[in-house]
Chain A
Amino acid sequence: NAGVTQTPKFQVLKTGQSMTLQCAQDMNHNSMYWYRQDPGMGLRLIYYSASEGTTDKGEVPNGYNVSRLNKREFSLRLESAAPSQTSVYFCATPRTSGNQETQYFGPGTRLLVL
C-alpha cells in the first residue's frame, strides 16, 4: 500500500519545454488534486478531479492541463514551461476515517524551470 506516488521526484526544464507530472493513488478514492507550493504562498490548488473523467480548475490553473486517466492516475502537464512554474508540486487524494475527511499527500515533485 504505497498511498500516493509521484514521478519524477525532481526535474529541470528549459523555458518552453513541456513535461508531464504523474500521480497514482491506491487509496481507492474518486477525488484527486494537484497543488503547487511556493515559499510564502502555502499550498495552492491547481486542478482537481472529483471522479474519473471529470476535472475542474482550482485557484491557479493557468499554464497547466490535467488528465484523469483512470481512477488511480491523475497527470499534470506543462505544455510550455515558464520560470514562474518553478515550484514543488504535490498530488493528493482524500482519506476518510470514520467521520474524518482529510487529504493524503504524495512526496512531491520539485521542478526548476530555467
Chain B
Amino acid sequence: QKEVEQDPGPLSVPEGAIVSLNCTYSNSAFQYFMWYRQYSRKGPELLMYTYSSGNKEDGRFTAQVDKSSKYISLFIRDSQPSDSATYLCAKGGGSNYKLTFGKGTLLTVNP
C-alpha cells in the first residue's frame, strides 16, 4: 500500500461549486501535511500547510486533517475557472525533509 493514496479523478465541476479533494495515508510517523497546486506545464506550488488535526482556512481554501482516521482534505469554496489545476497532497516529517506525494487530482472548473 502506497503511503499516501489520492483519487486521481478527473473531477469536473461548474463555477461556484464547492470542491472536496481527499487523501488517506498509512504511516502515522510524520507530523505535517501539505496541498500543492500545479497548473498545466508548471511546477507544483505550495497551497496549504498544516501540522495539526482540525481545519486551517486561507480565503476560499480550507485544509482539514483527521489524524484519528488518517484522512486529509482540501475544500474549495466558490470555485473559479482559475482553480482548474492538478492538486497534490503530501506528507512530510521524513528524514532529510523528504515528502511523500499522492498521485494528484485533476480539477476542471467550468465557467
Quick one: which of B35-87 are within 8 Å of A by CB? 41-46, 49, 51
Other-chain contact of A31, B6, B32, B44, B96 (Cβ < 8 Å) = B96
Whether the Cβ atoms of B43 and A45 lie closer than 8 Å is no
Max chain A CB contacts within 10 Å: which of B43, B49, B99? B43
Q: How large is the interface on A (under 10, 10 to 19, 20 to 34, 35 or more residues)?
A: 20 to 34
What is the bound-complex CA distance between A3 and B33, given in angstroms?
22
Other-chain contact of B45, A33, A45, A56, A105 (Cβ < 8 Å) = A105
> How many cross-chain pairs have Cβ atoms below 8 Å apart between A and B?
52
Known contacts A41-B103, A42-B88, A102-B49; A107 and B42 CB within 8 A of each other: yes
Whether the Cβ atoms of B101 and A43 lie closer than 8 Å is yes
Q: How large is the interface on B (under 10, 10 to 19, 20 to 34, 35 or more residues)?
A: 20 to 34
What is the bound-complex CA distance between A14 and B88, given in angstroms?
31
User: Which residue of chain A has the shortest Cβ distance to B46 in the bound complex?
Assistant: A102
Known contacts A90-B44, A102-B46; A42 and B97 CB within 8 A of each other: no
Give me 10 other A-B pairs in contact (C-beta within 8 A), A40-B103, A50-B96 excluded: A31-B97, A40-B8, A42-B103, A56-B96, A102-B49, A102-B92, A103-B97, A105-B43, A106-B43, A108-B41
Residues of A within 8 A of B (CB): 4, 31, 33, 40-43, 45, 48, 50, 56, 90, 94-95, 99-108, 110
